[in-house]
Structure 1
Amino acid sequence: MDTLLAQGAVTVLSGFRTADADQILTACRCGILPEEWKVTTLGDERHHEQTLRVLQVTTSTGTSRTGDLYRLERNLCEALQLPCPLLVLLPDGESLPDNLSTVLPNPAKLEPLSRDILITQLEHSHSATSKIDREAVDPALPDDDALSQLGDPDVLLALRAPDARSAAERLAAAVSRTWRHAGGVHGLSLEDINGTSPAHSAAADLAADLRSWQRGEIEWSDMSRSLLIYGEPGTGKTVLAGAIAASAGVPLIQGSFGAWQARGHLGDMLAAMLACFQDAKSCKPCVLFIDEIDSCGSRADTGDRNQAYRQQVINEFLRQIDLLHQEEGILLIGATNFPGKIDPAILRPGRFDLHHEMPLPTRQQIQIMLEQAFPDTGQDLRHLSRKLAGQTPAVIDARIREARARARRQGRSFDPGFLEQVLGKELGYRKQLDDRIAVHECGHVISAWLYGEEIKRVCLSPAGGLTERTAPPHAGLQADFDRQMTIHLAGRAAERLVFGTVSAGAGGGGNSDLAQAARLSLAMDHELGLGIHGNAWFGPPDPARLTAEERKRLQEQLDHAEDCARALLYPHRHVLQEMASVLTREREFDASAINRWLKDLPRKGGRDDGPDRIGEDTANTATAFGATSG
């Protein structure tokens, strides 16, 4: 206190939220300072010899920040001209410009709420003799880490208890609520999810590294600290973030661009973003999960009137990420359905180090979900997981809730038998459709296998089918791209080979088999220098603006790729049909099952001489079947 109030002293105080600055000011005015001392702020010119001048650092974002920094410097210079001591309040998330931070003293960090502080407070507020029953209070009082995560309302409500023991119990209850709300160790762990995809492996590595850092075994600078998860809606990106926090034993702090934007105007939105990052800093070690990152867009999008708004949002988001990474103990997890819409500056390493796609759950993961829905059944649930294969966790959860509601309306008990009955009726209508989808997907699997690719999984779903595969490294020769076109159209070729007809399963949206094969063909001609135009580059072509000659060439290229796929599959048509028949029943094959089916088929390797290119994960989907099935 003597240092703070010394004549001419300058103190910078940090380690608190912006919302707490007013309470610090009130505490200075109402009890912390000696009675004869006064506190003044900007605009309050009532000075006398024993006056503490308080200056709060509050800057906005975007274009207004420059003006705020100028006013801050001017106000600081005015305060320094007075002989009275100066207290500079620097909330978390705020920073001084370089020209001020170099001349001011290093910030003194405000100590977080602790057991010792609360014991002192309880002795002062809940005892006429300044003594409390420590044997009764100490066992009920949470530890320092838990207390530091409580907000002011929790503490103030607890202190309204009639005695010290009750106040400690209220604080313990507040800590429990905070953990449940934050999704801490009470949620599913990575061990519970038991995922095997690259996204799950990366999540497990992050959680393990965070635990090692907490034990002092590794330095924070030696580990990855951020992960971007992308994939279709409902695949469990939020659940995975919560599982990272649960496995690491730390709180999960959640935010989303949708929730921030719902606050209102630009200033409100940025304030909500800042508050989320500050919450993470105050709860560290923790996991900060930010959803719907694609909502911020890209600064390269200049086709609308929201460019200035979008630029300020992205700039502030980048600033907050950079400030966050200066802290230790915070893992940053982002989620998006559309990674291609995100500004490249957000995606770069150093902001999001790792990028992984969230796949559909395996049958083993679906079985875990069913075990949670029927915790006391004791029945084998593998047959149920088979019927739910190929669906997102959100859809599976909705199907279970729907079946539970139906059982309640019918006055029946909800058990695995009832759910199987409901699912069985729905699957009964799809037999012919599933037979065709299975043949289609097995065509992709066999052709990819023959070309030396790694096939991770193939499954059927209500929307169609999915084959997950990894192309081996290649030199980028025309033969390499021709092979990929062949694999893309192998599903269509398998249908023609088995049924004598083709369906719309290879068509559909921009990720369909036909679309991917067409993009490769057009890229060879217009961008890669491997097609009819030779050494020429014309940029990405617009399929809607192709000339009649270009459309004819594209059709011929795709027809040729399908013919090659059919010739590739013909010697193995019996394996194709048998494998598809079992897939229709099992709904999913993992890598080991695929290997058992195809281990005797000769593999071509799929490589040519030349420098290697990095292999890429590829998915063949048959979503158009969903449209044809009604």
Structure 2
Amino acid sequence: MTQFPLHSPRPAWVSFGKQVLRRMISDQINAGGKRDAALQDHPKSRLLDTLNDLPRAQHRDSEELDQLRENGIDGWALDDEGRSRPATALPASRSLIALRLAATFVSSRNVMDTLLAQGAVTVLSGFRTSDADQILTACRCGILPEEWKVTTLGDERHHEQTLRVLQVTTSTGTSRTGALYRLERNLCEALQQPCPLLVLLPNGESLPDSLSAVLPDPVKLEPLSRDILITQLEHSHSATGKIDRETVEPVLPDDSALAGLGDPDVLLALRAPDARSAAERLAAAVSRPRGHSESARALTLEAIGGASPAHQAAADLVADLRRWQRGEIEWSAMSRSLLIYGDPGTGKTVLAKAISASAGVPLIQGSFGDWQARGHLGDMLAAMLACFEDAKSRKPCVLFIDEIDSCGSRADTSDRNQAYRQQVINEFLRQIDLLHREEGILLIGATNFPGKIDPAILRPGRFDLHHEMPLPTRQQIQTMLEQAFPDSGTNLRPLSRELAGQTPAVIDARIRDARAKARRQGRSFDPRFLEQVLGQEQGYRSRLDERIAVHECGHVISAWLYGEEIKRVCLCPAGGLTERTAPPSAGLEADFDRQMTIHLAGRAAERLVFGTVSAGAGGGSASDLAKAAQLSLAMDYELGLGIHGNAWFGPQDPARLTASERKRLQERLDHAEDVARALLYPHKHLLKEMASVLTREREFDGEAIKCWLRDVPRHGDSELVLNQ
């Protein structure tokens, strides 16, 4: 006696779904020909369809089925000729959409009563833009009755039994304002026709308020589920329309996990040779870390260390996300976005990956560079939309967007790409706003040039927190070295000292280069070998480092004297770095004078100790001299604190100054350096001693700086002797 597998009852829509698939297969076989509607409507045909949905008689008894199961064969899927696959099957992407539609509308009767009712307007949501064509195909060939037609054309001569379909598309590269206007116009035109109307509203699209207020609430397309997958497997992995559900159902992930899978995961799983293997592949896809494979290997925040404001903000985001997951706080009560800025190679991407790894959620990565590489504006915006939709489908997750400065600013009118840039920025703003309506998605942005980003992107509510990514501390460098030499048991502090002041990208490159040298020389790669390589490279730098240390200590002491907080000072291959924070000021002339003095204190320290100055204070727009000059010019031409009184002339180009203006700028900067030298003169011995130790140690953190300067009083504006 044949035994049927014990399994959960099937939902009501399954019979309808199988009927839809049979009709679509028939249409696929007879593509280009007419189908016999009369035969389909015949009562005997409908009865046969119903009987077809019942389990077919098996010619194998339970013992034979069990034996096949032990050998890894699905006996329920085998026909009399030993075949386990149907003669014809639909492409998986097409059949899955058809089954999701069947699960949404449940039955052919419900389709007639809702979707095709006289005067009906249905808004369908919950799918991607790329699924729209498959939805149209499923409606034409399976969901709608045979005698009904589907059209996307605005033609007043439509047949009575016609479903008009209108797709909402406002992110195709044209002006959104124009697209919304055309949408409203087309909708009004469609509403004047007697045929029922289906409005397709893909993920990432939204109706304008004027339309959403009058249209019915969207019907959400059923997401992928266990029942949909089982029906799909019965269609694609069986010659009998049945599978061994006793072995498949226990393996299949739950509905929420399946709904979060991307198309590649599902389609790859459905390439498995049998239903059980397909279910196992789906389970494996659910269990492995989502997002980029790199995130599975990413370090946590605890592992990378770091106590900068950027690292602390990252830790706070992770902590709040965990509290939200436990139901302890509302999503609206926490910060949900962070913009990280800083020089290339400082570890912005690593920090985003660490946020994902620490939170235990997927990392979804996108970048303006990748999106723009797609070419045409419409393709670029489509790639942007796909990235945001990917994040929404995988929540909770971290969405990391790199190179945000590439979007530019709408205030920049310096080139002919203004219209392109405006459309990109407008769509990016819209996607951020739509993203923040979702719960469970942390948005992390990264840029090298925050000043080039449109202010509307930077405002709180889009990017709540802004923090600079500093160079790694010696402790963080030591962590990197411990990962490179996990079993060395060697004191790595000397190595971390040699690498201080360099970006993680540079450090990683130098370690890889040293590893390659060891390989070429046939030597083992260990901390000692790396130390030898670094020593050879840095031997010539000793005198240069001494001057750089004096320069940076000049900044540190002058900033301390003016009451600033100094977080760190370190030596770098390209110079030095002093991280400091000025206290709030009233914006008085004296406040700007102090800042100019601090900017030029490094140059003053060199002159005080060596009697000469180097080019270390000069260079690009971020150099000490450039910053001091910009402040001086701003006082005269923008801030109302200089010779022009209340007049405002905007930012000035130093290269275009008149002779008298250049003379005034030079005199003011000379005076600022004199003030700095007078500030430092009483502390010359401390300056030299501090610089000597910095040359050796390469870095002082905030606590070390406080120890050095604990006996130095802060005086601000006390009288100085400038002729020292």
* Total equivalences in the alignment: 605
> For residue 42 of structure 1, what is the aligned residue in structure 2?
152
State the Cα deviation string for residues 172-210 of structure 1 (Å, max 9, x = none).
344466726265454222222212111111122222222
**Greater CA drift, 538-547 or 62-71:** 62-71
Q: 1:69 to 1:596 in 2, by over 3 A?
A: closer
> For residue 349 of structure 2, what is the aligned residue in structure 1?
238
SS at match of 1:486: helix
Q: Does 1:103 align with 2:214?
A: yes
What is the aligned-residue RMSD (CA, Å)? 2.6
CA distance in 1, matches of 2:544, 2:352: 36
CA distance in 2, matches of 1:550, 1:59: 52
CA distance in 2, matches of 1:274, 1:576: 55
Counterpart among 327, 332, 338 of residue 221 in structure 1: 332
Note if contact 1:182-1:253 (Cα within 8 Å) is conserved in structure 2.
no
Q: Does 1:114 align with 2:114?
A: no
> For residue 520 of structure 2, what is the aligned residue in structure 1?
409
> For residue 365 of structure 2, what is the aligned residue in structure 1?
254
Per the TM alignment, residue 63 of structure 1 is displaced from its structure 2 partner at its CA by 4.3
1:15-34 matched pairs, under 5 angstroms: 15-32=126-143
Per the TM alignment, residue 122 of structure 1 is displaced from its structure 2 partner at its CA by 3.6
> For residue 451 of structure 1, what is the aligned residue in structure 2?
562
Q: Does 1:589 align with 2:696?
A: no
Q: 1:262 to 1:399 in 2, by over 3 A?
A: same
Counterpart among 233, 244, 247 of residue 132 in structure 1: 244
Counterpart among 291, 296, 313 of residue 407 in structure 2: 296
Counterpart among 200, 219, 238 of residue 89 in structure 1: 200
Per the TM alignment, residue 521 of structure 1 is displaced from its structure 2 partner at its CA by 2.3
TM superposition score normalised by structure 1 = 0.89
CA distance in 1, matches of 2:394, 2:186: 32
Task: In structure 1, give the amino acid aligned to 2:111.
Answer: L
CA distance in 2, matches of 1:546, 1:71: 52
Q: Does 1:474 align with 2:581?
A: no
Per the TM alignment, residue 294 of structure 1 is displaced from its structure 2 partner at its CA by 1.3
Counterpart among 662, 683, 690 of residue 551 in structure 1: 662
Per the TM alignment, residue 400 of structure 1 is displaced from its structure 2 partner at its CA by 1.2
User: Gaps (5+ residues) in structure 2?
Assistant: 1-104, 719-724
**Greater CA drift, 591-600 or 203-212:** 203-212
Q: 1:421 to 1:141 in 2, by over 3 A?
A: farther
User: Gaps (5+ residues) in structure 1?
Assistant: 608-630
> For residue 38 of structure 2, what is the aligned residue in structure 1?
none
Note if contact 2:402-2:445 (Cα within 8 Å) is conserved in structure 1.
yes
State the Cα deviation string for residues 524-558 of structure 1 (Å, max 9, x = none).
33333333444444433332233333322322222
**Greater CA drift, 455-464 or 208-217:** 208-217
CA distance in 2, matches of 1:62, 1:31: 33
Note if contact 1:294-1:341 (Cα within 8 Å) is conserved in structure 2.
yes
Q: Does 1:526 align with 2:655?
A: no
SS at match of 1:312: helix
Considering Cα pairs closer than 8 Å and 6+ residues apart, tell me whether 1 or 2 has the greater RCO.
Answer: 1
Q: 1:142 to 1:422 in 2, by over 3 A?
A: farther
Task: In structure 1, give the amino acid aligned to 2:496.
Answer: S
State the Cα deviation string for residues 27-54 of structure 1 (Å, max 9, x = none).
34455556x4645122498977766554
CA distance in 2, matches of 1:560, 1:12: 71
Task: In structure 2, give the amino acid aligned to 1:4.
Answer: V
Note if contact 2:173-2:381 (Cα within 8 Å) is conserved in structure 1.
no
CA distance in 2, matches of 1:329, 1:176: 19
SS at match of 1:355: strand
Per the TM alignment, residue 586 of structure 1 is displaced from its structure 2 partner at its CA by 0.9
* Higher Rg: 2
**Greater CA drift, 566-575 or 181-190:** 181-190
1:202-217 matched pairs, under 5 angstroms: 202-217=313-328
Note if contact 1:381-1:416 (Cα within 8 Å) is conserved in structure 2.
yes
Note if contact 2:345-2:506 (Cα within 8 Å) is conserved in structure 1.
yes
Task: In structure 2, give the amino acid aligned to 1:336.
Answer: T
Note if contact 2:123-2:217 (Cα within 8 Å) is conserved in structure 1.
yes
**Greater CA drift, 309-318 or 436-445:** 309-318
Note if contact 1:472-1:606 (Cα within 8 Å) is conserved in structure 2.
no
CA distance in 2, matches of 1:231, 1:500: 34
> For residue 311 of structure 1, what is the aligned residue in structure 2?
422
> For residue 387 of structure 1, what is the aligned residue in structure 2?
498
> For residue 624 of structure 1, what is the aligned residue in structure 2?
none
Note if contact 1:40-1:47 (Cα within 8 Å) is conserved in structure 2.
no
Note if contact 1:230-1:358 (Cα within 8 Å) is conserved in structure 2.
yes
Per the TM alignment, residue 491 of structure 1 is displaced from its structure 2 partner at its CA by 1.0
SS at match of 1:303: coil
SS at match of 2:290: helix
Note if contact 1:4-1:85 (Cα within 8 Å) is conserved in structure 2.
no
CA distance in 2, matches of 1:138, 1:378: 50
Q: Does 1:272 align with 2:383?
A: yes
Per the TM alignment, residue 478 of structure 1 is displaced from its structure 2 partner at its CA by 2.5
State the Cα deviation string for residues 101-129 of structure 1 (Å, max 9, x = none).
22221012223223443345445654647
> For residue 163 of structure 1, what is the aligned residue in structure 2?
274
CA distance in 1, matches of 2:153, 2:531: 72
Q: Does 1:284 align with 2:395?
A: yes
TM superposition score normalised by structure 2 = 0.78
> For residue 4 of structure 1, what is the aligned residue in structure 2?
111
Counterpart among 571, 586, 599 of residue 682 in structure 2: 571
CA distance in 1, matches of 2:582, 2:633: 20
Note if contact 2:592-2:631 (Cα within 8 Å) is conserved in structure 1.
yes
